[in-house]
Amino acid sequence: MIPVKLGYSLLHPNSFDEGTFSFGVRIMASGALTAFEPRKTPIQTRSAVTVEAIWEATIQVLLNHGAEPLTTTRVAERAGVSVGTLYQYYPNKQSLLFAVVGNHLDRVAARVEAACESACHKPLAEMIKEMVEAFVDAKMERRDISVALYRVSAGVGGPALIKKAAQRMRKAVEATLATAPDVQSPPGKSVIDTMLAAMAGVIRSLLEAEPSPDAVLKSKEQLVLLCQSYMAAATR
């Protein structure tokens, strides 16, 4: 199947599929993703700190050496832990990258959710501005990390993780828009999905273009205006 540029499936044109948009591949079946799941989830503070160190080391190795030379041994050395400790959580390189990509996307979704919560009951235009700016800032403040993770995501379950994050953002946006005092007709999910697809498209272009800080700022302002205008028309 050939993906549509704005992130829609040809088979399901009303369904937002950011995984297809970002990578040009279909979402893996849930059963296939089990190979990427960690062996255990950290519960104690000490374990959580160890896992955070492993994630950060993975990003640093990825940035400095690329995906191909990245090995669990090299990551363990960078994190200051034994390979055995790393294997307690991640059985292989793919599982490790799956966790790092998931953590990155969770942080992006959390930023948008926080912006949505802060924007509740504000005028529509202000709501959209805060949502869009939070999304762009979360993706572009460390563009190098975003680019590096996008490049490896397709082979480690990334599309499914992106879809999960998009669903979180959709839910938060939908709940916030329902509180806007100047919205006459609350938007349906397809309206919100279209806005999220536009946001994802602009971010992808920015990540690929290596823009200057001024160019990022200008693109963010234009994206805010685009989403404000679209949502104002869609909620009349």
Any idea where the domains of the chain sit in the sequence? 18-38+90-234
Tens-digit pLDDT profile for residues 127-175? 999 999 999 999 999 999 999 998 898 888 888 899 999 999 999 999 9
CATH number given to 18-38+90-234: 1.10.357.10
Tens-digit pLDDT profile for residues 178-224? 999 999 898 999 999 999 999 999 999 999 888 899 999 999 999 99
pTM: 0.80
Q: Residue 219 carries which side chain, given as an amino acid letter?
A: S
The closest of 160, 132, 168, 140 to 23, measured between CA atoms, is 160
Contact status, residue 134 vs residue 111, Cβ threshold 8 Å: yes
Contact status, residue 131 vs residue 111, Cβ threshold 8 Å: no
Q: Residue 71 carries which side chain, given as an amino acid letter?
A: T
Tens-digit pLDDT profile for residues 102-131? 999 999 999 999 999 999 999 999 999 999
Q: What is the largest CA-CA distance in the chain?
A: 59
